[in-house]
């Protein structure tokens, strides 16, 4: 059993015991799925995106998740204010740059968040993280472009490392193989099922899970690995139990699988390869 799998499983136990409050300023397409995923993994979700309370809610939370999936100027103000309060109090911030590279508003918001807020983890697809790295990103709306998907694990690792070093944070690129790095440690997670890409919001749910694990422990790298592996394992179990029924049943089965995930299942099913630079 590798050290990273053991650490991820132990963190899951801590999460279920501590039930951290996780503040999500996320998009309205997936907000219900994210809340249910956070609940299923054992944390407590709260979704407060009004500027009148975003800072106050952040102050009592164990982690803050910022997701720019459905942007408007009102919530951007709340994101920045909440992120600054989290930094002030030492609360981890997880950032999901949904669709970065697709529009001027998304690009400007991504740059503002990363320049004004110290993030603990940034999680996205290859196109989104490539944009943050300052590379040419072949974005396809909120999805990764085929060119970026086909770039391979080595290219993904190079981009993730560039972002981790640039922002001094954990950078995670999710895809067929998920790559997570803090600039020194690199983890490749091979869990998951291709049917996850047929359900809207699985990326957002993954980020919410990472936020939940960040709220339970101090090591953002382990938290990111654990959250991403948890989603991948849930996707595998959901396919085994309901994949033949269609995407609606598969969608519900994901939440079922997350709710039943425990240290033993993570131990037995996690496929994580960790290397060091």
Binding-site residues from annotation for substrate: 47, 201
Contact 187, 225 (CB under 8 A): yes
- Output the known binding site for ATP: 123, 174
3-state secondary structure of 63: strand
Contact 19, 12 (CB under 8 A): no
Report the distance separating Cα 230 and Cα 214, nearest Å. Answer: 13
Provide the Cα torsion 226, 227, 229, 232; round to 10°.
170
Contact 121, 91 (CB under 8 A): no
How far is C-alpha 77 from the geometric centre of its chain's CA atoms? 21
- Output the known binding site: 47, 123, 174, 201
**Rounded to the nearest 5°, which phi and psi values hold at 185?**
-95, 140
How far is C-alpha 202 from the geometric centre of its chain's CA atoms? 10
Write the CB contacts of 16 (distance below 8 Å, at least 6 apart in sequence).
41, 42, 262
Angle of CA points 180, 105, 196, to nearest 5° = 40
- The CA distances from residue 236 to 43, 95, 144, 164, in Å, are 22, 25, 21, 28
> What angle in degrees, to the nearest 10, is found between the helix axes of 247-260 and 31-41?
30
Tell me the pairing of strands 170-173 and 121-124: parallel
Q: Count other C-beta atoms under 10 Å from residue 209's C-beta.
A: 32
Contact 58, 86 (CB under 8 A): yes
């Amino acid at each position: 059993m590798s050290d990273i799998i053991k650490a991820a499983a132990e963190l899951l136990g801590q999460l279920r015991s501590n039930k951290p409050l996780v503040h999500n300023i996320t998009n309205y397409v997936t907000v219900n799925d994210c809340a249910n995923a956070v609940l299923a993994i054992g944390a407590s979700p709260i979704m407060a995106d009004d500027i009148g309370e975003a800072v106050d809610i952040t102050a009592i939370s164990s982690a803050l998740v910022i997701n720019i999936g459905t942007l408007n100027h009102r919530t951007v103000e709340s994101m920045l204010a909440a992120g600054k309060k989290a930094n002030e109090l030492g609360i981890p911030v997880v950032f999901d740059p949904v669709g970065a590279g697709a529009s001027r508003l998304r690009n400007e918001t991504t740059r503002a968040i990363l320049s004004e807020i110290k993030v603990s983890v940034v999680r996205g697809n290859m196109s989104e993280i490539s944009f943050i790295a300052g590379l040419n990103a072949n974005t396809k709306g909120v999805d990764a472009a085929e060119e970026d998907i086909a770039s391979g694990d080595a290219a993904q690792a190079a981009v993730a490392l560039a972002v981790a070093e640039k922002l001094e944070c954990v950078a995670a690129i999710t895809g067929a193989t998920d790559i997570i790095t803090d600039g020194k440690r690199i983890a490749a997670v091979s869990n998951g099922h291709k049917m996850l890409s047929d359900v809207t919001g699985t990326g957002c749910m993954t980020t919410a899970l990472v936020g939940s694990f960040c709220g339970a422990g101090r090591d953002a790298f382990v938290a990111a690995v654990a959250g991403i592996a948890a989603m991948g394992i849930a996707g595998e179990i959901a396919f085994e139990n309901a994949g033949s029924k269609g995407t609606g049943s598969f969608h519900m089965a994901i939440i079922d699988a997350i709710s039943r995930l425990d240290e033993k299942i993570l131990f037995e099913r996690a496929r994580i390869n960790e290397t060091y630079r």
